[in-house]
Structure 1
Amino acid sequence: MSGINEERVRGGNIIKDIGTDDDWQPSVIESLCMNCYKNGTTRLLLTRIPFFREVIVSSFSCEHCHWSNTEIQSAGEIQEQGVCYSLKIKTKQDMNREVVKADSATTKIPELDFEIPPFTQKGSLSTIEGLLARAVAGLEQDQPERRESDPEVAARIDQFIQKLQTLKDVEEEFTLVIEDPSGNSFVENPLAPQKDEAMTVTKFKRTIEQDKQLGIRADEDDEDVEEEEPAANDIDSMRNEVLQFDTNCPECSRPAKTNMKLVNIPHFKEVIIMATNCESCGHRTNEVKSGGATEEQGTKITLHITDASDMTRDLLKSETCFVHIPELEFELGMGALGGKFTTLEGLLKDIKDLIVDKNPFICGDSGVLDKIQKLKEFGGKIDKVMAGEMDVHIVLDDPAGNSYLQNVYAPEPDPEMKIEIYTRTFEENEELGLNDMKTEGYEEEK
């Protein structure tokens, strides 16, 4: 990192959005070529990937032996949960999707029973076609030696390489799975802001073994430390007190303070609101967690927006909640934007910021014209909804039953709002991690 401009480092803003600064150039560092052991050149670019996070893209080239190499690393911290992308590849166009694969990610193609284990490849920023080409190159690397030492194994690998090569033509549908316990891998959704029906994104809790692989748990620490349950008087004091603890800013990673308070929402339940304010870069964020357990049934709230005054309704969106706007063909998936306690207008502004205003792909030379136009039109429709100029419905679908939208007619029914209580499907319980959860009957088993 010594080649990075010191003034930019002192300014605390070394990571830039794509296309936001014409003067922002990659840092160039002289480094050793591992092929010929002469000096080559490494270029480092610190940037943000839209709908994702900060990454470091490095590219090495040697003018002596012409060897080159590219690599990508996360510039942020390990996420609270792991992430798994499952994509059904149906057309050749799907092969052009951009993919960030961290070195901790496992890549699978179930139809071929093919798997690339974690930490066997460096992180990469590529396309799906590029991932397949890299896998083929890795298998071909030692084939000349295998053909001499073990021709039978080499022949079987040649056959498998041929199968991987044919996948590029997408003659048959296949599935690509990228599972990353660090949460720092990413697969592009080319249909944004609409939901990608071909791709499923799920978050999961890491196992102890995965924590050890990522280096965030000591090898000898095999058991979780049991936490004491807070006493009733401690919970009562939390309701009247704002708790504060140290954390790192999600934007600049400098030390910051997070405030936490237990709040009772009328006609609903208790929630925990957390707000972080960074004095270094000015970044602010808030998040809300349910103060209770997952409900026995899911909740679906549908509001018909008829007036600009609806924008002032209080809204609680848990991190398990889906947001739909049918008239705009828009769906926000589970986990996007996290949990929020805001107003309806605040939620729509956050959606617009995520999709349009803070999307680096619609500025600079990285933007595709039809995608830019599509996203800007979507932003204009969101503005009309907030101004009460567009008649739409907004749907909060929360399988965990922990989301809420204010009824301004309470305790009377709201004529423009419909609340449906439904039984979760097996798949929804699986996504919430409830199918394998057992909280009763331990004494009988002993």
Structure 2
Amino acid sequence: MSVISEENVRGGGSVFKDISAEDDDWQPTEIESLCMNCYQNGTTRMLLTRIPFFKEIIVSSFSCGNCGWSNTEIQSAGRIQEQGVCYTLKVKTKQDLNREVVKADSATTRIPELDFEIPPFTQKGSLSTIEGLLDRAVAGLEQDQPVRRATDLEVAERIDEFIQKLRKLKDVENEFTLVIEDPAGNSFIENPLAPQKDEALTLSRFKRTVQQDMQLGLRADDDLDEEPASNDLETMRNEVLVFNTNCPECNAPASTNMKLVQIPHFKEVVIMATNCDTCGHRTNEVKSGGATEEVGTKITLHVTDASDMTRDVLKSETCSVIIPELEFELGMAALGGKFTTLEGLLKDIKDLIVSKNPFICGDSGVTDRVQKLSEFGEKIDKIMAGEMDVHVVLDDPAGNSYLQNVYAPDPDPEMTTEKYTRSFEQNEELGLNDMKTEGYQEEN
């Protein structure tokens, strides 16, 4: 039996490691445990590792040498994200069934056409494909069918009919919709067209409700307050606030600094910076300090020189980044809110699409996809070096993004700013359609 080394933990190293064929010292932990099939002792093997988009995970595998029964499951050991995610995919072809899916145990899976739903915490987390997701749902429904046929034949027959409908979805004779909604923010559906936008796949982020916070263990059952008490803004403007958090990379205790900053020729924003003394990871995030603007803003910069890379950029969480010459569009909330330079923004885009993309590494890498993403990374490098003439568009329906005008207060000949009226769909994404700010006075 192998155990987790105490020296590793005390020495500040992470107990979660990347799986590597060259690391012979890192072995699964073996624990003697009870077999739930024959009630004799079997063996559970646990491996603490990292899977992209799952962050840190615990992979456990049980096998029984007496009856041969085995079971494998995945549990997320990473941090819960600040916002929940909802992926909506229109499955149109059989190729869509091969998309890789990370489904956390906190996720709800729905197929609206069949009025079918898998509630959260009823299945363990899994790394699979859409076809595998359907097979797992079928296996779950078939599990108790022999008992149902003996006790309630009518119900068993109805479930058999529904199982056939699920199996027929794999033929993709008709288009159907798959929705994965995860309040923990740790689920994912692959975009095989990356870095281009996938018209069949939409991603939206949402703020968790009080009930969802309770399900995830982030809030006590008797804590029903929707929002914490507000801080004095004047105090926040004059000092840097520090609060404890966890590092998003190694999950070690870290500190986050928060400060209200006035950006010249723009508005007040909240900048949050996290530094980890354990692994050295640094990150910053920006949130608007004001209200949502009445109109959206679309900023277009014609990049003609390497000096444009030094321009300050404030990209809010609701801002999309578009580079028409590369047929590239980065949706809102993909990189979160950032206050950086144009070069820093392009580097973050390259890291997100190329360097940190798990589906081009190892056995997951398809040759055509790897080559296409590598070429995309080379084009980003040429833009940063001033060797490629492109347009960078910041489209923010909330109007809270900013790109520095180096000619201020005079107009910038290479930059245009357009104000536009938001559509109903954009207001819906921002949660403005159901927001009521007038008519609260009680009538006598």
2:328 to 321, 327, 330: 330
| Aligned 8 A contact 1:26 1:44 in 2 | no
Distance (Å, rounded) in 1 between the aligned partners of 2:424 and 2:61: 45
The residue aligned with 2:306 is 308
- Report percent identity of matched pairs: 79
Local SS of the residue matching 1:88: strand
User: Which range moved further: 89-98 or 45-54?
Assistant: 45-54
The residue aligned with 1:16 is 17
2:56 to 43, 54, 57: 54
| Aligned 8 A contact 1:28 1:43 in 2 | yes
> What's the Cα RMSD here?
2.2
User: Alignment length, in residue pairs?
Assistant: 442
The residue aligned with 1:399 is 397
1:217 to 219, 241, 244: 219
1:137 to 139, 151, 164: 139
Q: 1:41 to 1:315 in 2, by over 3 A?
A: same
| Aligned 8 A contact 2:100 2:127 in 1 | yes
Instruction: Report matched runs for 1:67-82 at 5 Å.
Output: 67-82=69-84
Q: 1:383 to 1:445 in 2, by over 3 A?
A: farther
The residue aligned with 2:340 is 342
Q: 1:19 to 1:354 in 2, by over 3 A?
A: farther
| Aligned 8 A contact 2:258 2:273 in 1 | yes
Corresponding letter in the other structure for 2:4: I
Q: 1:43 to 1:368 in 2, by over 3 A?
A: farther
| Aligned 8 A contact 1:56 1:74 in 2 | yes
Local SS of the residue matching 1:160: helix
Distance (Å, rounded) in 2 between the aligned partners of 1:285 and 1:434: 30
Q: CA deviation at 1:95?
A: 1.0
Distance (Å, rounded) in 1 between the aligned partners of 2:413 and 2:355: 34
Local SS of the residue matching 1:86: strand
Q: 1:47 to 1:194 in 2, by over 3 A?
A: farther
Distance (Å, rounded) in 1 between the aligned partners of 2:45 and 2:193: 32
| Aligned 8 A contact 1:313 1:406 in 2 | yes
Residues 321-366 of structure 1: CA distance to partner in whole angstroms, max 9, x if unpaired? 1111111121111111111111000101111112222334444444
Residues 95-147 of structure 1: CA distance to partner in whole angstroms, max 9, x if unpaired? 11121222221111000001111122222221111111111111111111212
Instruction: Report matched runs for 1:166-245 at 5 Å.
Output: 166-224=168-226, 227-228=229-230, 230=232, 234-235=233-234, 237-245=235-243
Gaps of 5+ in 2: none
Local SS of the residue matching 2:441: helix
| Aligned 8 A contact 2:244 2:254 in 1 | yes
Distance (Å, rounded) in 2 between the aligned partners of 1:251 and 1:54: 9
Residues 368-422 of structure 1: CA distance to partner in whole angstroms, max 9, x if unpaired? 3222222211111110000011111111111111000011111121111111111
Q: 1:84 to 1:151 in 2, by over 3 A?
A: same
Local SS of the residue matching 1:203: strand
Q: 1:445 to 1:307 in 2, by over 3 A?
A: farther
| Aligned 8 A contact 2:54 2:78 in 1 | no
Distance (Å, rounded) in 1 between the aligned partners of 2:413 and 2:36: 70
Distance (Å, rounded) in 1 between the aligned partners of 2:439 and 2:39: 63
Q: 1:360 to 1:107 in 2, by over 3 A?
A: closer
Instruction: Report matched runs for 1:251-262 at 5 Å.
Output: 251-262=249-260
TM-score by length of 1: 0.93
Q: Does 1:35 align with 2:37?
A: yes
Corresponding letter in the other structure for 2:411: P
Q: CA deviation at 1:225?
A: 5.6
Distance (Å, rounded) in 2 between the aligned partners of 1:333 and 1:403: 14
Gaps of 5+ in 1: none
Q: 1:333 to 1:43 in 2, by over 3 A?
A: farther
Distance (Å, rounded) in 2 between the aligned partners of 1:132 and 1:369: 27
1:286 to 284, 294, 310: 284
Q: CA deviation at 1:2?
A: 7.5
Q: 1:187 to 1:426 in 2, by over 3 A?
A: same
Q: 1:226 to 1:336 in 2, by over 3 A?
A: closer
Corresponding letter in the other structure for 1:132: L
The residue aligned with 1:3 is 3
Distance (Å, rounded) in 2 between the aligned partners of 1:323 and 1:300: 10
2:262 to 250, 261, 264: 264
Q: 1:94 to 1:426 in 2, by over 3 A?
A: same
Residues 279-320 of structure 1: CA distance to partner in whole angstroms, max 9, x if unpaired? 111110011111101111111111111111100111000111
TM-score by length of 2: 0.93
Distance (Å, rounded) in 2 between the aligned partners of 1:299 and 1:52: 34
| Aligned 8 A contact 1:258 1:277 in 2 | yes
| Aligned 8 A contact 2:53 2:188 in 1 | no
Distance (Å, rounded) in 2 between the aligned partners of 1:17 and 1:297: 46
Distance (Å, rounded) in 2 between the aligned partners of 1:145 and 1:445: 60
